[in-house]
Amino acid sequence: MKMRRSLFTRVALPVAVAILGVLVWAGGPAVAAFTTALSSALIGIKGTVSGTPESVAFSGQAKIGSKMVTDPDFGNPPTVVLSIDLSNVTGVGSSTGKTYVTPSRVILDRRLTAADTVQVPFPFFPSGGNGMSARVGMASFNLSFNVNTGMLTGATGGIASP
């Protein structure tokens, strides 16, 4: 069995350093101010979620907030913090005419790309009801960003069954 010699015996330590390391001194991460770019969009969204006890036709406005954050300290690609709020989207039951609501809001960290597709399952239930009876629909968004500024430049969306 091949044995590895401890690097940290009293004698071996300087040798180990010589073997392992080039004496490199470098500063920590550069202290640089990060930048943010805030943008938002209200987009019309609609679609039908089928299922029992009835299909539900949704419509309304989805509020999409976008915050791009740069990383000058480590030079990593910018992050986009997305907030997708569907609380102004309501549904109507196909057979009962009941109103359905969703409290859905999600917050996502996403990589900044020119085009991003985000699918957000959302719970919904009859108005006045609660989450114990919730069903689930799927909202899908196609988002466009200016990768130079981090601004949200376009958004479309739709609702369907999950």
Partner 1 sequence: MSFFLSSKDSKKRLKEAENARKNRLEILKAWSQGQISRRDLLKWGLFTMGGVLISKQGLSPFVRSAYADNIPTGLPASPLFGVQDFSTPMPRFDVLARNPNPSTFLNPSPMAQSNQTQQVLNTALEGVVAGDTGPIEGRPPGPIWAHQGFNDFPPKIAIEVTQEGAKTNTVYNPQVASNFNSGIDPTAPIPLKFHPGLPTQNLNSVWTFNGTIPPKLVIGRYAEPILTRHHNKLPFDVRQNGGFGRHTISTHEHNGHHGAENDGFTGAFFFPGQFYDYHWPIVLAGFRTINTAATDPRAATPDDNGGTVRIPGDWRETMSTHWFHDHMFSFTSQNVYKGNAAMFNIYSALDRGNEGINDGVNLRLPSGTLKSFGNLEYDVNLMLAEKAWDANGQLAMDIFDFDGFLGDRMTVNLTYKPFFEVERRKYRFRILNASVSRFFKIALSDASPMIQIANDGNLLPVPVTLTQLDEQGIAERYDIVIDFSRYSIGQKVWMVNLAEHQDGKRVANDLTLAEALSGQSSDPCVGKFLEFRIVRNPATPDVSQVPAAMIPNPDLSNVPVARTRTFEFGSGGQNTNDPVTSFFGPWGIKTDDGDSLNADFGRISAAPRFGTREIWTLANGGGGWDHPIHIHFEEGQVLARDGSASNVPAWEKGRKDVYRLRPGGSITITMQFRDWGGMFMEHCHNTVHEDNAMLLRWEIDDNGAPFLRPLPTPIPKPQGVTFEAPDDILPTAF
Given the rule CB under 8 A, which residues bind partner 1? 4, 6-8, 13, 16-17, 20-29, 31, 34-36, 67, 69-74, 76, 78-79, 81, 83, 103-111, 118-123, 125, 130-132, 134, 136, 138, 162
We find the least distance from the C-beta atom of residue 118 to partner 1, in angstroms, to be 6
We find the least distance from the C-beta atom of residue 125 to partner 1, in angstroms, to be 7
We find the least distance from the C-beta atom of residue 40 to partner 1, in angstroms, to be 12
Pick the closer one to partner 1 by CB: 108 or 115: 108
Q: Cα–Cα distances in Å, from 128 out to 10, 20, 32, 54, 63? A: 73, 67, 50, 17, 22
Report how far residue 12's alpha carbon sits from residue 122's, in angstroms, rounded to the nearest whole number: 61
We find the least distance from the C-beta atom of residue 105 to partner 1, in angstroms, to be 6
Pick the closer one to partner 1 by CB: 11 or 22: 22
Pick the closer one to partner 1 by CB: 39 or 104: 104
Pick the closer one to partner 1 by CB: 7 or 44: 7
Pick the closer one to partner 1 by CB: 11 or 31: 31
We find the least distance from the C-beta atom of residue 57 to partner 1, in angstroms, to be 20
